[in-house]
Amino acid sequence: MSEERELEQAPSTEVAAPAPKKVKKIIRKKRPARPQVDSSFITSEPPPQTGTIFNIWYNKWSGGDREDKYLSKTAAKGRCNVARDSGYTRADKITGSYFCLFFARGICPKGQDCEYLHRLPGIHDLFNPNVDCFGRDKHSDYRDDMGGVGSFMRQNRTIYVGRIHVTDDIEEIVSRHFAEWGQVERIRVLNSRGVAFITYTNEANAQFAKEAMAHQSLDHSEILNVRWATSDPNPMAQAREARRIEEQAAEAIRRALPEAFVAEIEGRDPEARKRRKIESSFGLEGYEAPDDVYFARGAQAVNPMGRRGYELGHEERLMIENGETGGGGDAPLAIEAGQQSAGVKGGIFSSSTLAALKAAQVSTAPRAKATASSGPLVAYSSDSEDDE
């Protein structure tokens, strides 16, 4: 960003007249992905027989369930180094690309020619709940040993890590190693048992971490056993998870609706009612514009406030606000809200938001909804919505 500004202010700028407003592009430092291993690495030796059928396409054995038993005794062959290895690949040009499983394991020889993403998942990487971030199908149930891809019945952000070498500084070691794979929300270490539970903020990062750390060692020569954590039976933990889903949904709503509207329904702006009464009369005594008019946003908005920021084309503005949304149309929020808080009345609204809405007697204005449909709430309003 600062580089961009420097360029704009550089003395070489030809004319003094203000240039027409340009759409700001998000400039990222682009660097090609680095091949993690020599290309002979993958092809030189067929993988040891760990199943009953050899799949040429994936260069691995399937069938049987011996994979983990075998691998659990063998250290991983590589290790991803996010800072050093990540960069763009062919996949970055294609919306909805999946992450490279071999990259996560530190053994992708393809570098920038890879058809999969070579970087860490972020909050904008959203995938269909039926697949993981590597594009592998999830199953209806977990495997008995909680290994594998996992289940689509539950959003699991917590991985179990066993066989950690027990030392006094085990907590520090665990958090240092696992922070590399994304934002960590919580780490619980059972010190004496050499076991840890790591919860990531985003599910995709948990998926990535599980692959990246399988059969790795930490500061000692242990070989880790990494699995999905079973759901925490502790009611406190379950309440926390439910609250998080509510908060996430409320946050999505906040982002989708005009700020003034949210402030008013949440009662954060006590002056709002008064101000609105004056402003929304549009000079007509006794008139007060209904919500959908008052809070309307866009070039066509009646309220001058609503037109602010719409000097740019609507589409362009969206691009700026949303940045690069890598994912497809399915926001995991919708899924979560649907399956996890099915019992919560109102689904996507947190109870406090609902209460606020009721108190303010705000009918959900069709106009406000129309503007909202461009935001992260897309998945709620329509399932025919395309990517983009």
* Contact in structure between 280 and 272 (CB atoms under 8 Å): no
The residue (of 156 and 207) whose beta carbon lies closer to Zn ion is: 207
The residue (of 103 and 261) whose beta carbon lies closer to Zn ion is: 103
The residue (of 100 and 365) whose beta carbon lies closer to Zn ion is: 100
Write the single-letter amino acid at 126: L
Q: Minimum Å distance from CB 48 to Zn ion?
A: 22
Site residues (vs Zn ion, CB under 5 A)? 100, 103, 108, 110, 114, 116
* Contact in structure between 174 and 198 (CB atoms under 8 Å): yes
Q: Minimum Å distance from CB 42 to Zn ion?
A: 10
Residue at token pair 């020569």: 221
Give me the DSSP letters along 54-110: EETTTTEEESSS-HHHHHTTS--S----HHHH-BB-GGGGSTTPPBPHHHHTT----
Q: Where are the beta strands (DSSP E) in 229-332?
A: none
* Contact in structure between 223 and 217 (CB atoms under 8 Å): yes
* Contact in structure between 213 and 226 (CB atoms under 8 Å): yes
Write the single-letter amino acid at 154: R
Q: Minimum Å distance from CB 103 to Zn ion?
A: 5
Q: Minimum Å distance from CB 306 to Zn ion?
A: 46
The residue (of 34 and 244) whose beta carbon lies closer to Zn ion is: 34
Positive or negative, the CA dihedral 36, 38, 43, 46 is negative
Dist. CA 375–CA 386, nearest whole Å: 13
Going by the DSSP 8-state scheme, the letter that residue 117 receives in this structure is B
The residue (of 61 and 103) whose beta carbon lies closer to Zn ion is: 103
* Contact in structure between 165 and 178 (CB atoms under 8 Å): no
Q: Minimum Å distance from CB 118 to Zn ion?
A: 6
The residue (of 76 and 319) whose beta carbon lies closer to Zn ion is: 76
Q: Minimum Å distance from CB 80 to Zn ion?
A: 10
